[in-house]
């Protein structure tokens, strides 16, 4: 913006290096821009005065402005020139240094002509106007008072904050107009100190705006003097800190509430900054004190190895912004190891950036000791279980062998009884009356039921003795399941239950032919279907075969029967356990069908699962791997 300013313009950083110059500056001093920018201003001064620059520049930075300072400078061609400077320090709204703005003029030949002086004064006036306009753009209160404390001028931002126009209060006493009565004596004293050339910085007091509201302002005051050193007023720069103070008060109140709440718990609470130094400690443990921990890191408190481990976790929380669980080991004053378990949670600043973390830890030493004792007890129990299991396996093997032997011994007389009753019922030996026929049918039915039970016990014994062989052959799954359905159809029709069969509808590589043990699959399917029919007094049983794309066959039996309670779902697969519904006086069956079916399914490489809704029905699903004739044996 200063390119076309008719006077020379330069801007310096806080170290006195040139940030920018305009063409007028280059013309006055005869340099190229690249020879100037980035160089120390002192390089262009007469060597006789160059060593004065650091001290005078530092004083200028403190005062914030200077008027009509003359430096003897050396032009690019080596000739000396007397250059007059008027400079001010530019600050951001928080009062921090940004850069200097300096207007310079070659006054070497000022006295040659009055015309040159007039032109110079006009230019200086324009520059002053420009700087005043520049101040009006500042987002800070800029106020000028005379030595008596009356308002001379203020910038636009002051008017926005206060609600007053300058012409409304020009000449008015600042304290009487803007300062609350409770603060007037203190503010007048500060004003007199500032006017007495005692600079004040960082004083905070309230001002009363036109609408009666108060705003908290932080002030930086500087005495204004004329060229003879006489005090002509006071320049005050103020920053509205109302919201900042309100936030600080809220933060202090929040911290106090947090401290009260945290102090009421047995937890050890710690707060860290980004450097992982303790900034707040509540309920310190094991002889540690808050005063002894504040400002320190874990390496000042923990053992080196433990500090490295815990610090790594805390750094990870700062980097990722995610909470983590952690455990800390400390030595008690008695030299015993104490354990603390808790969480490390990141904290965030107003911009959402992680600025530290907070930790909550509780002493779990007794819990760790109890866990150790429990582990020792569990190990002892596991040893006992292994010993008892070995004994049980032997006993179970003996039981299985006994059942297999006894089952064979029972089958012969049972088959004889069933056979002879059948001969008698045929009428070959002679005609029977109705009562004799009824009694013989009861004998035959009971014999068949007992034979079925013996067969199941024999099957179970064989499975447990691991003497069952799997005989695979090509089997049409749809045909097998359809035949099984026809076996239970009379039972279903007698109970008024509708049967529906949905064969596999997907294209199988061998059109339904898979390698399967048909006898065992038939036994499983018949058991699932007969169970579904028996426990469905009215409604339907749906039988579905499906081949998944993952090499698995599913046989699903869905009924609308009485259903099974959730807590009893796995009990249906336990041997000799019968699950009764609320309206059953005694459960049906022996409690062996489903356990044997699941064991057979597992023998075939699959499993049976069940889902159920009491009162609505159950779904039993048989899942088996698909094998084909060309597949290599497993």
| Selected residue with higher pLDDT from 311 and 441 | 311
| Burial class, 301, CB count within 10 angstroms (exposed 0-12 / middle 13-18 / buried 19+) | middle
Percent of the chain with pLDDT over 90: 19
The percent of residues in the chain predicted with pLDDT above 70, rounded, is: 79
Span of 30-44, 269-283, 438-452 with lowest mean pLDDT? 438-452
pLDDT score of 461: 63
What is the C-alpha to C-alpha distance for residues 37 and 23, in angstroms, rounded to an integer?
12
Determine if the pTM surpasses 0.75: no
pLDDT(323) > 50 = yes
> Would you say residue 141 has pLDDT above 70?
yes
Q: What is the pLDDT of residue 171?
A: 92
For the chain, how big is the Rg over CA atoms in Å?
A: 50
- Strands 141-145, 97-106: pairing kind: unpaired
pLDDT of residue 464: 64
Q: How far is CA 519 from the centre of its chain?
A: 56
The per-residue pLDDT for range 267-289, each reduced to its tens digit, is: 778 888 889 898 888 777 667 78
Q: For position 198, what pLDDT does the model report?
A: 63
Inter-axis angle of helices 518-534 and 477-495, to 10 degrees? 30
Task: Assess whether pLDDT exceeds 80 at residue 119.
Answer: no
Closest CA to 221 of 245, 191, 186: 191
Q: Which residue has the higher pLDDT, 501 or 253?
A: 501
Q: From start to end of 274-386, where are the E strands?
A: 278-282, 324-331, 337-348, 354-363
Instruction: Quote the pLDDT of residue 52.
Output: 92
Among 369-373, 493-497, 601-605, whose mean pLDDT is lowest? 369-373
Residues 516 and 472: their CA atoms lie apart, in Å, by 5
Q: What is the pLDDT of residues 179-233, one digit of tens each?
A: 999 988 888 888 887 777 666 677 888 999 999 999 999 988 888 888 888 888 8
Q: What is the per-residue pLDDT across 337-375, written as a single tens digit (0 to 9) for each?
A: 888 888 899 988 878 889 888 887 888 888 878 878 888
Position 585 confidence tier, pLDDT thresholds 50, 70, 90: very low
pLDDT on residue 404? 58
Three-class secondary structure of residue 117 per DSSP:
helix
Rounded to an integer, the average pLDDT of 485-500 is 87
CA–CA dist 501, 504 (Å, integer)? 10
Condensed to tens digits (0 to 9), the pLDDT of residues 160-174 reads 889 999 999 999 999
Average of pLDDT values for 60-84?
Answer: 88
Q: Which residue has the tokens 């053992």?
A: 303
pLDDT bracket for residue 313 (50, 70, 90): very high
Query: What pLDDT is attached to residue 41?
Result: 93
Pairing of strands 201-208, 151-154: unpaired
Q: What's the mean per-residue pLDDT of the chain? A: 81
> Token pair 């709204």 is at which residue?
93
Q: With the CA atoms of 299, 303, 306 and 311 taken in that order, what torsion angle do they form, in degrees rounded to the nearest 10? A: 0
- CA dihedral of residues 32, 33, 38, 43 (deg, nearest 10): 40
pLDDT score, position 596 = 86
- Express each pLDDT in 374-413 by its tens digit: 888 888 888 888 887 777 666 666 666 665 565 556 656 6
pLDDT classification of 539: cutoffs 50, 70, 90 = confident
Residue 450 or residue 153, greater confidence: 153
Tell me the per-residue pLDDT of 9-26, one tens digit each, with 9 for 90 and over: 999 999 999 999 999 899
Give the integer Cα–Cα distance in Å for 156 and 139.
9
Is residue 303's pLDDT more than 80? yes
131 or 215: which leads in pLDDT: 215
């Amino acid at each position: 913006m200063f390119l076309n300013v008719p006077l020379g313009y330069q801007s310096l950083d806080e170290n006195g290096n040139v940030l920018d110059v305009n063409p007028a500056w280059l013309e006055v001093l005869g340099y190229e821009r690249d020879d100037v920018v980035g160089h120390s201003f002192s390089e262009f001064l007469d060597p006789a005065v160059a060593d004065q620059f650091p001290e005078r520049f530092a004083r200028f930075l403190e005062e914030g402005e200077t008027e009509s300072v003359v430096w003897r400078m050396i032009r690019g061609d080596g000739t000396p020139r007397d250059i007059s400077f008027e400079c001010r320090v530019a600050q951001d709204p928080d009062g921090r240094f940004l850069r200097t703005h300096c207007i310079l003029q070659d006054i070497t030949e000022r006295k040659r002509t009055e015309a040159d002086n007039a032109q110079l004064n006009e230019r200086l006036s324009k520059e002053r106007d420009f700087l005043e306009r520049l101040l009006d753009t500042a987002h800070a209160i800029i106020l000028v008072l005379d030595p008596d404390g009356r308002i001379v001028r203020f910038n636009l931002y002051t008017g926005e904050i206060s609600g007053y126009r300058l012409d409304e209060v020009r000449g008015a006493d600042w304290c009487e107009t803007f300062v609350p009565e409770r603060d007037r004596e203190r503010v007048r004293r500060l004003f007199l100190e500032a006017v007495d050339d005692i600079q004040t910085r960082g004083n905070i007091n309230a001002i009363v705006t036109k609408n009666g509201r108060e705003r908290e302002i932080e002030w930086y005051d500087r005495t204004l003097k004329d060229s003879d050193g006489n005090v002509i007023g006071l320049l005050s720069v103020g920053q509205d800190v109302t919201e900042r103070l309100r936030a600080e008060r809220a933060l202090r109140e929040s911290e106090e509430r947090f401290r009260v709440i945290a102090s009421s718990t047995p937890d050890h609470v710690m707060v860290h900054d980004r450097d992982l130094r303790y900034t707040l400690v509540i309920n310190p443990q094991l002889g540690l004190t808050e005063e002894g921990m504040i400002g320190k890191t874990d390496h000042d408190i923990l053992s080196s190895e433990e500090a490295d481990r815990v610090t790594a976790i805390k750094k990870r929380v700062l980097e990722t912004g995610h909470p983590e669980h952690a455990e800390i080991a400390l030595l008690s004053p008695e030299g015993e190891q104490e354990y603390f378990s808790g969480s490390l949670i990141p904290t965030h600043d107003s911009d959402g950036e992680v600025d530290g973390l907070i930790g909550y830890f509780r002493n779990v030493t007794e819990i760790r000791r109890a866990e150790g004792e429990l582990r020792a007890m569990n190990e002892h129990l596991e040893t006992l279980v292994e010993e008892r299991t070995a004994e049980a396996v032997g006993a179970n093997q003996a039981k299985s062998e006994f059942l297999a032997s006894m089952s064979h011994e029972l089958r012969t007389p049972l088959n004889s009884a069933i056979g002879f009753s059948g001969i008698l019922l045929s009428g070959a030996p002679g005609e029977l009356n109705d009562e004799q026929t009824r009694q013989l049918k009861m004998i035959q039915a009971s014999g068949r039921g007992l034979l079925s039970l013996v067969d199941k016990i024999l099957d179970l014994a064989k499975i447990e003795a691991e003497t069952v062989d799997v005989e695979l052959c090509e089997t049409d799954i749809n045909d097998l399941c359809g035949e099984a359905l026809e076996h239970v159809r009379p039972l279903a029709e007698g109970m008024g239950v509708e049967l529906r069969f949905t064969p596999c509808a997907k294209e199988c590589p061998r059109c339904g032919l898979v390698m399967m043990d048909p006898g065992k699959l038939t036994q499983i399917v018949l058991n699932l279907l007969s169970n579904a029919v028996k426990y469905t007094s009215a409604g339907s049983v749906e039988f579905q075969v499906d081949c998944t794309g993952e090499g698995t066959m599913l046989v699903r039996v869905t009924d609308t029967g009485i259903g099974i309670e959730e807590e009893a779902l796995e009990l249906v697969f336990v041997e000799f356990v019968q699950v009764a519904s609320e309206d059953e006086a005694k459960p049906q069956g022996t409690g062996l069908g489903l356990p044997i079916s699941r064991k057979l399914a597992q023998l075939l490489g699959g499993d049976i699962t069940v889902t159920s809704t009491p009162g609505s029905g159950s779904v039993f699903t048989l899942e088996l791997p698909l094998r084909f004739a060309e597949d290599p044996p497993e």
